[in-house]
Protein backbone atom coordinates (compact mmCIF):
# COMPACT_ATOMS: atom_id res chain seq x y z
CA UNK A 1 0.00 0.00 0.00
CA UNK A 2 1.42 3.37 -1.03
CA UNK A 3 1.85 6.05 1.58
CA UNK A 4 -0.41 9.11 1.26
CA UNK A 5 2.49 11.55 1.26
CA UNK A 6 4.02 9.77 -1.77
CA UNK A 7 0.74 10.08 -3.66
CA UNK A 8 0.56 13.76 -2.78
CA UNK A 9 4.16 14.31 -3.90
CA UNK A 10 3.53 12.62 -7.26
CA UNK A 11 0.33 14.63 -7.81
CA UNK A 12 2.21 17.79 -6.94
CA UNK A 13 4.94 16.92 -9.45
CA UNK A 14 2.36 16.37 -12.19
CA UNK A 15 0.75 19.73 -11.44
CA UNK A 16 4.12 21.49 -11.51
CA UNK A 17 4.91 19.94 -14.88
CA UNK A 18 1.55 21.09 -16.26
CA UNK A 19 2.20 24.65 -15.15
CA UNK A 20 5.69 24.52 -16.63
CA UNK A 21 4.32 23.40 -20.01
CA UNK A 22 1.59 26.02 -19.81
CA UNK A 23 4.13 28.82 -19.37
CA UNK A 24 6.21 27.50 -22.26
CA UNK A 25 3.13 27.45 -24.47
CA UNK A 26 2.29 31.07 -23.62
CA UNK A 27 5.89 32.24 -23.77
CA UNK A 28 5.54 33.68 -20.27
CA UNK A 29 7.72 32.70 -17.33
CA UNK A 30 6.40 33.75 -13.94
CA UNK A 31 8.93 35.08 -11.48
CA UNK A 32 6.71 33.88 -8.62
CA UNK A 33 5.08 30.61 -9.62
CA UNK A 34 3.03 30.65 -6.42
CA UNK A 35 1.06 33.51 -7.93
CA UNK A 36 0.44 31.50 -11.08
CA UNK A 37 -0.82 28.49 -9.13
CA UNK A 38 -2.93 30.69 -6.90
CA UNK A 39 -4.69 32.06 -9.98
CA UNK A 40 -5.88 28.52 -10.75
CA UNK A 41 -6.75 27.52 -7.19
CA UNK A 42 -10.48 27.32 -6.49
CA UNK A 43 -11.80 27.86 -2.97
CA UNK A 44 -13.05 24.25 -2.88
CA UNK A 45 -9.45 23.03 -3.21
CA UNK A 46 -8.29 25.23 -0.33
CA UNK A 47 -11.13 23.97 1.86
CA UNK A 48 -10.00 20.37 1.35
CA UNK A 49 -6.29 21.10 1.93
CA UNK A 50 -6.37 23.25 5.05
CA UNK A 51 -3.11 21.79 6.34
CA UNK A 52 -1.27 23.01 3.26
CA UNK A 53 -0.37 26.71 2.62
CA UNK A 54 -2.82 27.30 -0.25
CA UNK A 55 -4.66 30.50 -1.14
CA UNK A 56 -7.65 30.63 -3.47
CA UNK A 57 -7.89 32.92 -6.50
CA UNK A 58 -10.70 35.21 -5.36
CA UNK A 59 -8.52 38.22 -4.52
CA UNK A 60 -6.60 37.84 -7.78
CA UNK A 61 -9.92 37.67 -9.61
CA UNK A 62 -10.91 40.99 -8.04
CA UNK A 63 -7.66 42.60 -9.21
CA UNK A 64 -7.76 41.01 -12.66
CA UNK A 65 -11.28 42.28 -13.26
CA UNK A 66 -10.09 45.85 -12.70
CA UNK A 67 -6.96 45.37 -14.85
CA UNK A 68 -9.07 43.97 -17.70
CA UNK A 69 -11.51 46.88 -17.51
CA UNK A 70 -8.66 49.39 -17.71
CA UNK A 71 -6.63 47.72 -20.46
CA UNK A 72 -9.63 46.95 -22.67
CA UNK A 73 -10.97 50.49 -22.14
CA UNK A 74 -7.63 52.00 -23.14
CA UNK A 75 -7.40 49.76 -26.22
CA UNK A 76 -10.91 50.67 -27.39
CA UNK A 77 -10.38 54.37 -26.65
CA UNK A 78 -7.39 54.43 -29.00
CA UNK A 79 -8.77 52.09 -31.65
CA UNK A 80 -12.17 53.78 -32.06
CA UNK A 81 -11.63 57.54 -31.74
CA UNK A 82 -15.07 58.34 -33.14
CA UNK A 83 -17.22 55.97 -31.08
CA UNK A 84 -19.44 57.50 -28.41
CA UNK A 85 -19.06 56.72 -24.72
CA UNK A 86 -22.17 54.56 -24.91
CA UNK A 87 -20.88 52.47 -27.81
CA UNK A 88 -17.49 52.07 -26.18
CA UNK A 89 -19.19 50.88 -22.99
CA UNK A 90 -21.30 48.32 -24.87
CA UNK A 91 -18.28 47.06 -26.78
CA UNK A 92 -16.17 46.73 -23.64
CA UNK A 93 -18.99 44.89 -21.88
CA UNK A 94 -19.16 42.36 -24.72
CA UNK A 95 -15.40 41.73 -24.52
CA UNK A 96 -15.16 41.26 -20.74
CA UNK A 97 -18.48 39.46 -20.20
CA UNK A 98 -18.52 35.89 -18.91
CA UNK A 99 -19.11 34.11 -22.26
CA UNK A 100 -16.18 35.94 -23.87
CA UNK A 101 -13.83 35.23 -20.96
CA UNK A 102 -14.86 31.57 -21.07
CA UNK A 103 -13.99 31.46 -24.77
CA UNK A 104 -10.53 32.90 -24.07
CA UNK A 105 -10.01 30.49 -21.15
CA UNK A 106 -11.04 27.47 -23.22
CA UNK A 107 -8.73 28.41 -26.08
CA UNK A 108 -5.85 28.37 -23.60
CA UNK A 109 -7.12 25.17 -21.94
CA UNK A 110 -7.31 26.82 -18.53
CA UNK A 111 -9.75 24.15 -17.37
CA UNK A 112 -7.02 21.52 -17.34
CA UNK A 113 -4.98 23.52 -14.82
CA UNK A 114 -7.66 24.45 -12.28
CA UNK A 115 -7.14 23.01 -8.80
CA UNK A 116 -10.52 21.85 -7.50
CA UNK A 117 -11.93 20.08 -4.48
CA UNK A 118 -13.28 16.60 -5.07
CA UNK A 119 -16.91 17.69 -4.76
CA UNK A 120 -16.50 20.52 -7.26
CA UNK A 121 -14.64 18.17 -9.61
CA UNK A 122 -17.40 15.57 -9.48
CA UNK A 123 -20.10 18.11 -10.33
CA UNK A 124 -18.29 19.32 -13.46
CA UNK A 125 -16.74 22.43 -11.97
CA UNK A 126 -13.75 22.24 -14.29
CA UNK A 127 -15.94 23.28 -17.21
CA UNK A 128 -18.34 25.57 -15.34
CA UNK A 129 -18.49 28.91 -17.22
CA UNK A 130 -18.47 31.16 -14.15
CA UNK A 131 -15.46 29.33 -12.73
CA UNK A 132 -13.49 29.58 -15.99
CA UNK A 133 -14.28 33.28 -16.36
CA UNK A 134 -13.09 33.86 -12.80
CA UNK A 135 -9.87 31.95 -13.50
CA UNK A 136 -9.17 34.07 -16.57
CA UNK A 137 -9.54 37.25 -14.50
CA UNK A 138 -7.40 35.77 -11.73
CA UNK A 139 -4.67 34.90 -14.22
CA UNK A 140 -4.64 38.49 -15.51
CA UNK A 141 -4.41 39.71 -11.92
CA UNK A 142 -1.52 37.35 -11.16
CA UNK A 143 0.31 38.36 -14.34
CA UNK A 144 -0.09 42.03 -13.44
CA UNK A 145 1.35 41.49 -9.96
CA UNK A 146 4.20 39.36 -11.25
CA UNK A 147 5.30 41.34 -14.30
CA UNK A 148 3.32 44.55 -14.56
CA UNK A 149 1.00 46.14 -17.08
CA UNK A 150 3.32 45.77 -20.07
CA UNK A 151 3.22 41.97 -19.90
CA UNK A 152 -0.55 42.01 -19.41
CA UNK A 153 -0.91 44.11 -22.56
CA UNK A 154 1.32 41.69 -24.48
CA UNK A 155 -0.84 38.79 -23.33
CA UNK A 156 -4.06 40.57 -24.35
CA UNK A 157 -2.55 41.57 -27.70
CA UNK A 158 -1.98 37.88 -28.39
CA UNK A 159 -5.26 36.50 -27.03
CA UNK A 160 -8.01 39.13 -26.86
CA UNK A 161 -7.33 42.14 -29.07
CA UNK A 162 -6.98 40.16 -32.35
CA UNK A 163 -10.62 39.10 -31.95
CA UNK A 164 -11.65 42.72 -31.57
CA UNK A 165 -9.65 43.64 -34.66
CA UNK A 166 -11.30 40.86 -36.66
CA UNK A 167 -14.77 42.21 -35.84
CA UNK A 168 -15.85 39.43 -33.48
CA UNK A 169 -17.66 41.94 -31.28
CA UNK A 170 -18.94 44.37 -33.90
CA UNK A 171 -22.47 43.00 -33.48
CA UNK A 172 -22.87 45.09 -30.33
CA UNK A 173 -22.20 48.32 -32.24
CA UNK A 174 -25.00 49.92 -34.22
CA UNK A 175 -24.70 50.08 -38.02
CA UNK A 176 -23.86 53.79 -38.08
CA UNK A 177 -21.04 53.23 -35.58
CA UNK A 178 -19.74 50.25 -37.54
CA UNK A 179 -19.79 52.22 -40.78
CA UNK A 180 -18.03 55.17 -39.17
CA UNK A 181 -15.34 52.89 -37.76
CA UNK A 182 -14.85 51.10 -41.10
CA UNK A 183 -14.54 54.37 -43.00
CA UNK A 184 -12.20 55.83 -40.39
CA UNK A 185 -9.97 52.77 -40.59
CA UNK A 186 -9.84 52.41 -44.37
CA UNK A 187 -10.56 55.65 -46.21
CA UNK A 188 -10.58 58.55 -43.75
CA UNK A 189 -13.48 60.02 -45.71
CA UNK A 190 -16.45 62.09 -44.55
CA UNK A 191 -19.86 60.44 -44.11
CA UNK A 192 -23.04 62.43 -44.61
CA UNK A 193 -26.63 61.32 -43.92
CA UNK A 194 -29.57 62.98 -45.69
CA UNK A 195 -33.32 62.45 -45.44
CA UNK A 196 -34.50 62.21 -49.03
CA UNK A 197 -38.24 62.12 -48.43
CA UNK A 198 -41.02 61.70 -45.91
CA UNK A 199 -44.21 59.92 -46.85
CA UNK A 200 -47.47 58.79 -45.29
CA UNK A 201 -49.83 60.42 -42.77
CA UNK A 202 -48.55 62.11 -39.63
CA UNK A 203 -49.41 59.15 -37.38
CA UNK A 204 -47.64 56.65 -39.67
CA UNK A 205 -44.82 58.43 -41.42
CA UNK A 206 -42.03 56.70 -43.31
CA UNK A 207 -38.62 58.20 -44.00
CA UNK A 208 -36.10 57.51 -46.74
CA UNK A 209 -32.47 58.23 -45.91
CA UNK A 210 -29.23 57.96 -47.80
CA UNK A 211 -25.63 57.94 -46.67
CA UNK A 212 -22.79 59.22 -48.82
CA UNK A 213 -19.03 59.09 -48.49
CA UNK A 214 -17.29 62.17 -49.86
CA UNK A 215 -20.38 62.80 -51.98
CA UNK A 216 -20.68 59.23 -53.32
CA UNK A 217 -23.90 57.50 -52.25
CA UNK A 218 -23.21 54.23 -50.45
CA UNK A 219 -26.66 53.14 -49.36
CA UNK A 220 -30.29 54.07 -48.80
CA UNK A 221 -32.77 52.96 -46.15
CA UNK A 222 -36.44 53.32 -45.36
CA UNK A 223 -37.86 53.32 -41.84
CA UNK A 224 -40.60 54.59 -39.56
CA UNK A 225 -38.26 57.11 -37.98
CA UNK A 226 -35.31 59.14 -39.20
CA UNK A 227 -33.04 57.16 -36.92
CA UNK A 228 -34.25 53.82 -38.25
CA UNK A 229 -33.91 54.99 -41.87
CA UNK A 230 -30.33 56.13 -41.23
CA UNK A 231 -29.46 52.83 -39.55
CA UNK A 232 -30.79 50.85 -42.52
CA UNK A 233 -28.92 53.10 -44.94
CA UNK A 234 -25.73 52.48 -42.95
CA UNK A 235 -26.42 48.73 -43.02
CA UNK A 236 -26.72 48.80 -46.82
CA UNK A 237 -23.52 50.84 -47.05
CA UNK A 238 -21.66 48.35 -44.85
CA UNK A 239 -22.77 45.47 -47.03
CA UNK A 240 -21.64 47.28 -50.16
CA UNK A 241 -18.24 48.23 -48.76
CA UNK A 242 -17.58 44.74 -47.42
CA UNK A 243 -18.46 43.17 -50.76
CA UNK A 244 -15.90 45.44 -52.40
CA UNK A 245 -13.15 44.17 -50.12
CA UNK A 246 -13.98 40.45 -50.44
CATH number (domain holding residue 80): 1.10.1520.10
Condensed to tens digits (0 to 9), the pLDDT of residues 102-158 reads 999 999 999 999 998 888 878 877 889 999 999 999 999 999 999 999 999 999 999
Q: Are 49 and 168 part of one and the same domain?
A: yes
Confidence of residue 1 (pLDDT cuts 50, 70, 90): very low
Mean pLDDT of 180-190: 81
Query: In the predicted model, is pLDDT for residue 6 greater than 60?
Result: no
Residues 201 and 100 in one domain: no
Kindly state whether residues 89 and 188 are assigned to the same domain.
Answer: no
Does 31 share its domain with 136? Answer: yes
Q: What is the pLDDT of residue 113?
A: 93
72 and 153 in a single domain? The answer is: yes
Separation between Cα atoms, residue 56 and residue 16, nearest integer Å: 17
pLDDT of 54: 72
Looking at the structure, do residues 85 and 13 belong to the same domain, yes or no? yes
Q: Are residues 159 and 192 in the same domain?
A: no
**Can you give the pTM of this predicted structure?**
0.74
The residues annotated as belonging to the active site are: 65, 137
Cα 140 to Cα 65: distance, rounded to the nearest angstrom = 8
Tell me, yes or no, whether 97 and 155 share the same domain.
yes
Find the domain containing 200 and state its range: 175-245
For the CA atoms of 38, 42, 45, 47, what is the dihedral angle to 10 degrees?
A: 100
**pLDDT > 80? residue 245:** no
Residues 127 and 77 in one domain: yes
Average pLDDT over residues 180-187: 82
Amino acid sequence: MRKPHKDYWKASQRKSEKFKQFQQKLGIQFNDEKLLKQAFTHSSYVNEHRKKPHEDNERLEFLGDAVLELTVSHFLFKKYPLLSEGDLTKLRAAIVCEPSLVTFANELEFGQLVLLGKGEEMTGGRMRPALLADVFEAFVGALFLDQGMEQVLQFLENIVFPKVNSGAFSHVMDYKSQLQELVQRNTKGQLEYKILKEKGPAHSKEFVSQVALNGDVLGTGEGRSKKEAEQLAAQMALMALRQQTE
